[in-house]
Structure 1
Amino acid sequence: MSGSIKDRIRRAKASPGGTATRPVRLWLAPDMGLVDRYQRAVADLEEAESAETPAPADSLEGGSGVVELREQVESLRAQLDEHSLELTVRALDDDEWQRLVDEHPPRRATDTTEADPRDAKYDWNASTFPRALLRAATVAPVLDDEDWQMLLGSPGQRGVLTHPQVEDAAGAVAGLTRFRLDIPFS
């Protein structure tokens, strides 16, 4: 690796978010019929590829049925990708993480100090924390308050992202924030 330790640290700090980042793909209200057609086409292609006899040594494509199925899969995937949004999320430092946890405490069951069952296995409000975590950790694209409101919703207004999508994206942030990097050296 080139450069001094100071240069390497400066490069890391200058990276997007100044820490570990990861792309997260979200789906913005795709047509589930299109998703079904895509999944069927992929399954058909896999079946055709596994059933087909090996192509001649001078052929790169295989049979014409496989070629047509590949084109169909590519076309359907392009249509699906029109419904996607890729966010780049970053790891939070300990202070940022703790501030968010403190701002989104677990709900309490009525007339008791016990955690509400929805939050019992967390140290935070399972409804509000993932949304706040995703907002705090997104470095690209730059989204304004209106964008976030349309994505996540607000009281009385549905967002376009489902709760599981928000949880998965927030899980990616939590993974970056709390990860251990274990790269084998062999």
Structure 2
Amino acid sequence: MTDFDAILTGARLPEDQVPVCTRADLVAEWRRLGRELTEAKARDAADPRLVGGATAKLVERMEALRAQVEASTVEFRLRALPRKRWNELADAHPPRQKNGKVHPDDVALGVNIETFLPALVRASTVEPELKDETWAALLGVEGELLGEQQWRRLWKSCWNLNVADVNVPFSVAGLLTSPGSGSGSGSPEPSE
């Protein structure tokens, strides 16, 4: 016989982790070196007498950069909000209206995306614990330190934690034999 009270007592909200590299300039340099490495390997393959020198130096530089990127990456641990807190947050950021119409950017999510999404990320972040000034630098309109892709990964993860279906996995074998279906949540994109 199943003890439903015991199961519910152990219930937890979903969590996710999103790595954020604070040195996107290093990532761009690593990608540039990766392109150079591809070209060097092609040259080496075309003329075996050239093998080694340039390729080895590029690999060494890329490894040094990789270590710097890892050292400047912060792992954000995010957790879904309790239902009441989610509703309070959404109510605090109603869609913008002009002449009786909802702003086009706010239609998809039903909230003011300019104010709601930063508040959602901050409210959903369990770790790291950040000072108000750091949050302002990360999420503020004037002091954004996050690139667009990093920002989207953070807010989409928070959104999905709160609104995506929680599907019970039945078997790993089923995952191996069925085609991928994506996240299934269909997180909306604010219009550009």
Does the pair score TM above 0.5? yes
Q: Which residue of 2 aligns with 1:56?
A: none
- Residues 144-184 of structure 1: CA deviation (Å, up to 9, x unaligned): 32221222226xx4232245533330110111222333535
Q: Which of these residues, 88, 91, 109, is aligned with residue 102 of structure 1?
A: 91
Q: Which residue of 1 aligns with 2:182?
A: none
Report if aligned partners of 2:23, 2:69 keep a CA contact under 8 Å in 1.
no
Structure 1's consecutive aligned runs of 4 or more residues displaced over 6 angstroms after TM superposition are: 47-53
Q: Which of these residues, 154, 161, 165, is aligned with residue 150 of structure 2?
A: 165
Report if aligned partners of 1:130, 1:167 keep a CA contact under 8 Å in 2.
no
Superposed, 1:119-138 pairs within 5 Å as 119-138=106-125
**Superposition RMSD on alpha carbons, in Å?**
3.3
Q: Which of these residues, 14, 28, 43, is aligned with residue 20 of structure 1?
A: 14
Q: Which runs of 5+ in 2 are unaligned?
A: 46-51, 174-192
For 1:106, give the aligned amino acid: P
Measure, in 2, the Cα distance between the counterparts of 1:7 and 1:183: 17
Q: Structure 1 residues 71 and 118 mapped into 2: Cα distance closer, same or farther (>3 Å)? A: same
Q: Structure 1 residues 36 and 124 mapped into 2: Cα distance closer, same or farther (>3 Å)? A: same
Measure, in 2, the Cα distance between the counterparts of 1:20 and 1:107: 30
Q: Which residue of 2 aligns with 1:117?
A: 104
Measure, in 1, the Cα distance between the counterparts of 2:38 and 2:59: 10
Q: Structure 1 residues 93 and 8 mapped into 2: Cα distance closer, same or farther (>3 Å)? A: closer
Q: Which of these residues, 70, 81, 84, is aligned with residue 73 of structure 2?
A: 84
Report if aligned partners of 2:15, 2:78 keep a CA contact under 8 Å in 1.
yes
SS in 2 for 1:123: coil
SS in 1 for 2:104: coil
Q: Which residue of 1 aligns with 2:169?
A: 183
Q: Structure 1 residues 78 and 127 mapped into 2: Cα distance closer, same or farther (>3 Å)? A: same
Q: Which residue of 1 aligns with 2:27?
A: 35
SS in 2 for 1:88: strand
Q: Which runs of 5+ in 1 are unaligned?
A: 54-62
Q: Which residue of 2 aligns with 1:144?
A: 131
Q: CA deviation at 1:52?
A: 8.3
Report if aligned partners of 1:130, 1:166 keep a CA contact under 8 Å in 2.
no
Identity over aligned residues, as a percent? 30
Question: What TM-score, normalized to structure 1?
Answer: 0.68
Q: Structure 1 residues 68 and 125 mapped into 2: Cα distance closer, same or farther (>3 Å)? A: same
SS in 2 for 1:76: helix
Q: CA deviation at 1:89?
A: 0.6
